């Protein structure tokens, strides 16, 4: 079975990697700020029109050279994983909050403390339910991988116990059980006060194509990050 995606490898020194992080990371941080500011600004229309022209100019400047489509996941020869396009954690993705996720390879889990600002609003003042599913899917996937049983999300069930206020949040996920290629991950998301606002359970499955690759190569399971 042909894999639906593959990881590219690039030759890059640690110094080049660090410079890339600083330069593109700086651009993305500036864009995240711009994104929030553009939602909240109350400046007069003539200022907004001038700002719009400047933003268009920047898009012209940056689009002179681009990769053809999505970023994908690119691994450097020195072992760094460049999942820059990831919508939750991507270093070059201004849509990503972004989350810094800590994996626990001993217990098989993952956790994160993060901030969801006004850009992630659903009900007034509260986080959109789809955004909560989005961040939990990523944390759960990383928990399964940290437990040594990576997989793709087969199912993800959420129980929204109470609305999640915009602002500081935290989430934790752990491998509850494994059965062959299937891993059950459980976890919860909390608001700034420590109240559990979402409980979730996910089933992560090592895909058939990955099983076939593993059987052929004898390697350890890949990380879908």
Ligand X SMILES: CC(C)(COP(=O)(O)OP(=O)(O)OC[C@H]1O[C@@H](n2cnc3c(N)ncnc32)[C@H](O)[C@@H]1OP(=O)(O)O)[C@@H](O)C(=O)NCCC(=O)NCCSC(=O)Cc1ccccc1
174 is a contact residue toward ligand X (CB under 6 A):
no
Neighbour count for residue 154 (Cβ, 10 Å): 13
User: Rounded to the nearest whole angstrom, what is the least distance from the CB of residue 135 to ligand X in the complex?
Assistant: 10
Q: What are phi and psi of 116, to 5 degrees?
A: -110, 110
111 is a contact residue toward ligand X (CB under 6 A):
no
224 is a contact residue toward ligand X (CB under 6 A):
yes
Q: For 57, how many CA atoms within 13 A lie in the half-sphere containing its CB?
A: 6
28 is a contact residue toward ligand X (CB under 6 A):
no
Show contacts with ligand X in window 129-168 (CB under 6 A). Answer: 137-138, 141-142, 152-155
Query: What is the number of helices (H) and of strands (E) in the chain?
Result: 4, 9
Show contacts with ligand X in window 185-214 (CB under 6 A). Answer: 203, 205, 207-208
Would strands 74-76 and 8-10 be described as parallel, antiparallel, or unpaired?
parallel
User: What torsion do the CA atoms of 83, 84, 90, 91 make, to the nearest 10 degrees?
Assistant: 130
User: Rounded to the nearest whole angstrom, what is the least distance from the CB of residue 85 to ligand X in the complex?
Assistant: 12
184 is a contact residue toward ligand X (CB under 6 A):
no
User: Where do contacts with ligand X occur on this chain (CB under 6 A)?
Assistant: 137-138, 141-142, 152-155, 203, 205, 207-208, 224-225
């Amino acid at each position: 079975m042909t894999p639906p995606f593959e990881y590219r490898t690039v030759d890059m020194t640690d110094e080049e990697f660090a410079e890339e992080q600083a330069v593109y990371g700086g651009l993305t941080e500036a864009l995240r700020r711009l994104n929030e500011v553009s939602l909240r600004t109350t400046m007069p229309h003539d200022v907004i029109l001038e700002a719009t022209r400047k933003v268009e100019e920047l898009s012209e400047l940056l689009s002179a050279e681009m990769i053809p489509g999505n970023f994908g996941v690119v691994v450097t020869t020195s072992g760094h994983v460049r999942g820059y396009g990831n919508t939750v954690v991507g270093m070059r993705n201004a849509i990503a909050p972004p989350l810094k996720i800590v994996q626990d390879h001993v217990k098989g889990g993952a956790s994160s403390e993060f901030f969801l600002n006004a850009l992630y609003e659903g009900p007034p003042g509260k986080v959109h339910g789809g955004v909560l599913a989005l961040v939990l899917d990523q944390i759960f996937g990383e928990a399964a991988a940290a437990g040594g049983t990576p997989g793709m999300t087969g199912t993800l069930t959420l129980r929204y116990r109470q609305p999640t206020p915009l602002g500081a949040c935290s989430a934790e996920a752990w491998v509850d059980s494994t059965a062959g290629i299937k891993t059950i991950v459980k976890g919860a998301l909390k608001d700034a006060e420590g109240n559990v606002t979402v409980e979730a359970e996910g089933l992560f499955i090592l895909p058939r194509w990955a099983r076939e690759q593993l059987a052929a190569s004898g390697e350890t399971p890949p990380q879908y990050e």
